[in-house]
Amino acid sequence: MSSASRRVDADGQPLRLMAVHAHPDDESSKGAATVAKYVDEGVEVLVVTCTGGERGDILNPKMDTPENWENIATLRSAEMARAREILGVEQTWLGFVDSGLPEGDPLPPLPEGCFALVPLEESAAALARVIRTFRPHVVTTYDENGGYPHPDHIRTHEVTMAAVDLAADSEAPQELGEPWPVAKVYYHMTFHRSRAVALDAAMHDDGLVSPYADRLKDWPDDPVQAARLTTFVPCADHFSVRDDALRAHATQIDPDGFWFAVPLATQQKVWPTEDYQLAKSRVATSLPEDDLFAGIETHEVDRVDTWFYSI
């Protein structure tokens, strides 16, 4: 695709992608290279962040200071602003409060008023309103397990799926806006065993210490999980943008830690895609896919022409 062109839908409108995430930093650790690729193709991308990450830990030892703990909400908001700029996306806060990750045996109750305890109809309506305003062709979110079992990630899945249905429902309250049927919904699936095995082998071949060695010992082969992979988006040229966005979340990402243990060139060569499961589709498509917009009628137009059209 030429850098002078952009992809539009059948009506000549820009393609639109919405990525729904639980906390600031999730947009940079899940699907960020995909997002950067589509931004380069002229796709309009909106990141919806469900919570402010107020109850998150500080995971970068260099940032672990009493002052930063006192200002964690402000810091995470500023980090999100930097990541948003790096990725070239729009971003909005859904406005709910981080639930935190409960620890202990037995697990303590979740904090009163947190995102995971807000009635589903309330949080789904809030997201449906954003969907009806932005009118995305494609929405990405987490699977029913949340990607990992953080209560906010699981709730993000539940809220997203309910909101997609509500946004399309012509009987839903008018104050949510005009109905909008999202064409396709995807789950992030990049952190799967096949990818880890491939990267682990490459690190050993190069005589390097693999960050996956210990993890793979307790990670059995799961054919059911592997079968869920439907869509592999080539975006290796944008892995560096993903990494820059990750580093913007300085309280959450250790620049000397796991995220950067595999050399960028190795990642680009061995596993040059970010991977997804097609969860819902209103359009016909053939699997496997290499494009989140597969099956949606699109064509390319000159970016200048589109700019004048949008004015």
Cis bond before residue 106 (omega within 30° of 0): yes
Distance between CA atoms of residues 145 and 157, nearest Å: 8
One domain for residues 110 and 242:
yes
Distance between CA atoms of residues 168 and 46, nearest Å: 18
Confidence of residue 7 (pLDDT cuts 50, 70, 90): confident
Q: What pLDDT was estimated at residue 1?
A: 59
> What b/e readout covers 155-179, taking b as 16+ CB neighbours within 10 angstroms?
bbbbbbbbbbebbbeeebeeebbeb
Q: Mark which of 179, 204, 228 sits at the end of a domain.
A: 228
Cα-flanking dihedrals φ and ψ of residue 60, to 5°?
-100, 110
One domain for residues 67 and 200:
no
Give just the sign of the alpha carbon dihedral 201, 206, 211, 214.
Answer: positive
One domain for residues 251 and 202:
no
One domain for residues 81 and 102:
yes
Q: Mark which of 213, 228, 243 sits at the end of a domain.
A: 228
Look at residue 244 and tell me whether its pLDDT is greater than 60: yes
Extended beta strands in the chain, E state:
5-9, 16-21, 44-51, 90-96, 138-141, 184-188, 231-234, 273-281, 298-302
One domain for residues 147 and 210:
no
Distance between CA atoms of residues 73 and 66, nearest Å: 13
Q: What's the Cα-to-Cα distance from 106 to each of 56, 150, 151, 155, rounded to whole Å? A: 20, 16, 16, 21
127: domain CATH number? 3.40.50.10320
One domain for residues 186 and 235:
yes
The residue segments making up the domain with residue 19 are 5-191+230-310
**Digit-coded pLDDT (tens) for 152-171:** 999 999 999 999 999 999 99
Confidence of residue 299 (pLDDT cuts 50, 70, 90): confident
One domain for residues 203 and 289:
no
**Digit-coded pLDDT (tens) for 43-88:** 999 999 999 999 999 999 999 999 999 999 999 999 999 999 999 9
Cα-flanking dihedrals φ and ψ of residue 283, to 5°?
-125, 155
Query: Does 98 appear as a known binding residue?
Result: no
Strand pairing category for 16-21 and 273-281: unpaired
H or E element at residue 162: helix 151-168
H or E element at residue 136: none
Q: What DSSP state is assigned to residue 257?
A: S
15, 64, 68, 23: which is closest to 44 by C-alpha?
A: 15
One domain for residues 90 and 216:
no
Alpha helices in 106-150 (DSSP H): 120-134
Query: Does 105 appear as a known binding residue?
Result: no
Please report, rounded to a whole number, the percentage of residues in the chain having pLDDT higher than 90: 90
One domain for residues 210 and 254:
no
Look at residue 308 and tell me whether its pLDDT is greater than 50: no
One domain for residues 199 and 59:
no
Q: How many domains does the chain have?
A: 2
One domain for residues 200 and 172:
no
**Digit-coded pLDDT (tens) for 93-130:** 999 999 999 988 888 999 999 999 999 999 999 999 99
State the Rg of the chain over Cα. 20
Q: How many helices (H) and strands (E) does the chain have?
A: 12, 9
pTM of the model: 0.94
Q: Mark which of 203, 228, 253 sits at the end of a domain.
A: 228
- Collapsed DSSP state (helix, strand, coil) of residue 155: helix
**Digit-coded pLDDT (tens) for 273-285:** 999 999 999 999 9
Q: Please enumerate, as own/partner, the contacts of 167-176 that have beta carbons within 8 Å and a separation of 24 or more.
A: 167/128, 167/131, 167/132, 172/128, 173/125, 175/129, 176/125, 176/128, 176/129, 176/132
CB-based contacts of 144: which residues, under 8 Å, 6+ apart? 154, 157
Amino acid at 230: T
Query: Does 26 appear as a known binding residue?
Result: yes
One domain for residues 124 and 205:
no
